[in-house]
């Protein structure tokens, strides 16, 4: 090797070419992009209807608990961090370590639905149901849809953890795909936070 510049290895721990391949599976990216587009259309329509009746939306927004919103955000961001760390560890062959990191992310993720119920149930009891007005329909629909995505994400993370624990050569593409999905869930939440909780 007469090259004096050291080029980083183009292969990861498992001998895969990392420079040219897309992390995760391409079909997962298709799903993520499409999902973002669908959510995007809902966000835009929300903004449109909000513009039509700002007073109603502003008044309804006051009922939302910013505290729980922020808590959920912290939970998800931290969880995403651990998923990223875990994925990196998995790439370097540190299965045990990756398992623990992703396990921690999973436990954090479990907090989210709990907090969500703590947020929704008092509201529903107080009569603020999805049928109440347009703001609340959007609110419940969007956060509900997000919650479904999150629960699915938890299931995927569980399978990732199982793969790390059980197989000697974990399926890195699957782990990356799962991680990417989780980051998407996180991203969606940030937008929801901004639209529903913060924009006043």
> Given the rule CB under 8 A, which residues bind other proteins?
25-28, 30-31, 34-35, 38, 41-42, 45, 49, 130-131, 134, 137, 141, 144-145, 148
- Taking the C-alpha atoms of residue 190 and residue 36, their distance in angstroms, rounded to an integer, is 13
Minimal distance in Å, beta carbon 135 to other proteins? 11
Minimal distance in Å, beta carbon 134 to other proteins? 6
Nearer to other proteins, 94 or 116 (CB): 116
Minimal distance in Å, beta carbon 31 to other proteins? 4
Minimal distance in Å, beta carbon 15 to other proteins? 23
Nearer to other proteins, 75 or 128 (CB): 128
Quote the tokens at residue 185: 């869930």
Nearer to other proteins, 38 or 199 (CB): 38
Q: Hunting for tokens 């149901």 — which residue is that?
A: 129
- Taking the C-alpha atoms of residue 68 and residue 112, their distance in angstroms, rounded to an integer, is 10
Sign (positive/negative) of CA torsion 126, 145, 46, 80? positive
- Taking the C-alpha atoms of residue 100 and residue 85, their distance in angstroms, rounded to an integer, is 10
Nearer to other proteins, 61 or 73 (CB): 61
Instruction: Please name the residue ranges forming H helices in the chain.
Output: 26-52, 54-61, 66-91, 95-125, 134-166, 172-192
């Amino acid at each position: 090797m007469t090259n004096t510049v050291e080029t980083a290895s183009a292969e990861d721990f498992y001998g895969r070419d990392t420079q040219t391949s897309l992390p995760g599976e391409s079909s997962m990216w298709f799903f993520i992009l499409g999902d973002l587009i669908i959510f995007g259309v809902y966000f835009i329509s929300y903004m449109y209807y909000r513009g039509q009746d700002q007073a109603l939306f502003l008044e309804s927004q006051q009922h939302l608990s910013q505290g729980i919103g922020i808590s959920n955000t912290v939970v998800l961001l931290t969880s995403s961090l651990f998923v990223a760390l875990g994925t990196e560890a998995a790439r370097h062959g540190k299965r045990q370590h990756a398992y623990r990191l992703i396990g921690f992310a999973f436990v954090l993720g479990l907090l989210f639905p709990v907090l969500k119920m703590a947020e929704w149930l008092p509201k529903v009891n107080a009569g603020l149901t999805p049928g109440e007005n347009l703001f609340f329909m959007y609110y419940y629909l969007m956060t509900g849809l997000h919650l479904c995505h999150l629960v699915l994400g938890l299931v995927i993370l569980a399978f990732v953890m199982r793969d790390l624990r059980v197989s000697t050569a974990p399926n890195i593409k699957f782990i990356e795909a799962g991680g990417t999905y989780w980051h998407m869930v996180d991203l969606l939440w940030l937008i929801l936070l901004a639209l529903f909780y913060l924009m006043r």
